[in-house]
Amino acid sequence: MSNRREFLTQSLAGAGAISLAAPTLFADHGADKPPTRFIFLHKGNGLFPSSLVPPTFSQEQQEAEKRKDAFTVDLDGHELPEWMSPLAAHTNHMTILQGLSGKMCTTGHHTWCSSLGVFKANERLSSIKWATVDFELAKLFPSPFEHIEFACFPSGGGNSRGNINGIEKGFSARGPQQPNYAFGSPKIAMQELYKSVSSDQTAQAQYQLERKMLEFVARSEGQLANQLGGTERVKVANYADALQAIRRRNGRVEAMADKIRQHLPQLDAKYLSDNLSTVDRQQGFTEMLLATLISGMTNVVTFTVDELGTPYTGLPEIEGESVNQHDVGHGKPVRQFAATDVRKKIRRQHMTLIDTIVKRLKSVPEAGGTMFDNTMLFYFPDNGETHHSHGTEWPFIVLAGENTPLQLGRRYIRLPGYNQPGHRTLGNWYTTILNAYGHPTPHYGSPDVGLSIPQEGPIEQLLG
């Protein structure tokens, strides 16, 4: 039993950052209609709402923003904040969404899977109440891998426990008490995601060996479950089912091997190193993200571009520094750059990644348009509005293609401030997205017990 369970544990981690349950068809989108893709990019150390305000806003609009009054502005004719300038070519597909709150989440330094699950969470598995929103969307648009997660892990503590290049618990969840696993480096992601189609004989031999071992252990665990009773039988049966799910997934990947080979990520050697800068790690993951989406391996990717404890290296003009984001959060400068300027450098780096993603997807033809037409990308903070966050604001930058059913695009939307009439939460935002794409849930997420206003349901003004 211990050997089997040890093998299973390694297999589940080796399956890497994916859902082990077979995809469930919640909606029939038709064989000739492309699926929608969702990309979640979240960052550590907060995101100041004031940093997203266009500098060309009128005095009246600036004052309304400071009061947190509700208003909507067409971005046409407005300049983006300087750090957002890499996205200037995509303004027509951009929405800056302000005013959401998330006090029902864990706030402060870290939130674990709170910002995607809308509930209090910590490192204990028992704190995971349900599947995070990215997994709920993945169920609506099934794919061989269902969901893939990448993470620039913190170097000490946190989810990675210092294993920043490995496969560790990520920032999403597959279901109650079921954390997802994320790839910590482009190298390990390349090895695990593409080993079934590798031309390397050693990698192929290893894959075939693992394939046979999975078949043997799954059959053995299934037989053992029949001999047990009670909770032990349930546990062993779950192990067997998980292994069978991996085998089914591998079969689906093998069936689309030719298409996957057409879109193998072309990574320079520096991206496959075990000792790479944070900026190179992010760029390598961006190539992996694009390859998995374009090939059809998955329709949902979650990418933790950094966490509070991620040692930041490779930033322009301070390439040789290892930037401590916690120190930056407390106002410490780096060389001649003030902490606010270092924050801008980090955010601008994130925008270059998004620009790469959107440009590439706009270049891929699909169903009379492009892949981007059927894509939504979200950029948001892991922990709310600032370093020591309170969760009263959770800013979002959204880029959505032409076929989104939501009323977005070229708009700055400021929702009413916390506890004002009409105020909306992260739960309302995710409820809106789920409803728009075919999951008619009354409300997603935990309530905020501190709010004295109604807080269930979608944000009606964003629904078509």
Q: What percent of the chain lies above the pLDDT cut of 70?
A: 80
Identify the pLDDT of residue 21: 38
Identify the pLDDT of residue 259: 76
212: exposed, middle or buried (Cβ count in 10 Å: 0-12, 13-18, 19+)? exposed
Identify the pLDDT of residue 253: 67
Q: Is 24 helix (H, G, I), strand (E, B) or coil?
A: coil
- Structural contact between residues 100 and 396, judged by C-beta atoms closer than 8 angstroms: yes
For residues 307 and 323, what is the distance between their CA atoms, to the nearest angstrom?
12
* CATH number of the domain within which 339 lies: 3.40.720
Q: Are residues 86 and 35 in the same domain?
A: yes
Residues 6+ apart with CB under 8 A from 464: 405, 406, 407, 436
Residue 347 φ then ψ, to 5°: -65, -40
Classify the C-alpha dihedral 411-417-418-420 as positive or negative: negative
Residue range of the domain that includes 62: 2-192+278-462
Identify the pLDDT of residue 328: 96
* In 150-265, alpha helices (H): 186-193, 201-227, 230-255, 257-262
pLDDT digits (tens, 9 = 90+) for 309-319: 998 999 999 99
Indicate the pTM of the whole model: 0.87
| Whether residue 411 has pLDDT greater than 70 | yes
| Whether residue 195 has pLDDT greater than 90 | no
The count of other CB atoms within 10 Å of the CB of residue 208 is 12
Total structural domains in the chain? 2
| Whether residue 12 has pLDDT greater than 80 | no
Q: Provide the pLDDT confidence category of residue 162 given band limits of 50, 70 and 90.
A: confident
The count of other CB atoms within 10 Å of the CB of residue 10 is 12
| 324 alpha carbon, distance to own chain's centre | 23
Does 318 map to a domain?
yes
Identify the pLDDT of residue 150: 97
Does 422 map to a domain?
yes
Identify the pLDDT of residue 22: 37
Identify the pLDDT of residue 200: 60
For residues 349 and 90, what is the distance between their CA atoms, to the nearest angstrom?
16
Q: Are residues 185 and 258 in the same domain?
A: no
Question: What average pLDDT does the structure give for the chain?
Answer: 86
* Higher-pLDDT residue of 205, 416: 416
| Whether residue 1 has pLDDT greater than 50 | no
For 373, what's the count of Cα atoms within 13 Å in the CB-facing half-sphere? 12
Q: Are residues 161 and 214 in the same domain?
A: no
Does 27 map to a domain?
yes
Q: Are residues 289 and 436 in the same domain?
A: yes
Residues 6+ apart with CB under 8 A from 208: none
End of a domain among 208, 235, 263?
263
pLDDT digits (tens, 9 = 90+) for 58-74: 999 999 999 999 999 99
Identify the pLDDT of residue 7: 46
For residues 409 and 94, what is the distance between their CA atoms, to the nearest angstrom?
5
Residues 6+ apart with CB under 8 A from 380: 40, 41, 42, 43, 47, 115, 394, 395, 396, 397
| Whether residue 196 has pLDDT greater than 90 | no
Counting every residue written for the chain, the total comes to: 464
Question: What average pLDDT does range 315-330 have in this prediction?
Answer: 95
Identify the pLDDT of residue 214: 43
pLDDT digits (tens, 9 = 90+) for 232-275: 655 555 555 655 565 566 666 666 777 778 888 888 999 999 89
Identify the pLDDT of residue 204: 53
**Nearest Cα residue to 386 out of 40, 49, 41:** 49
Tokens read off for 70: 């509700």
Residues 6+ apart with CB under 8 A from 194: 260, 264
Q: Are residues 115 and 164 in the same domain?
A: yes
Q: Are residues 212 and 335 in the same domain?
A: no
Question: What average pLDDT does range 382-397 have in this prediction?
Answer: 95
| Whether residue 15 has pLDDT greater than 50 | no
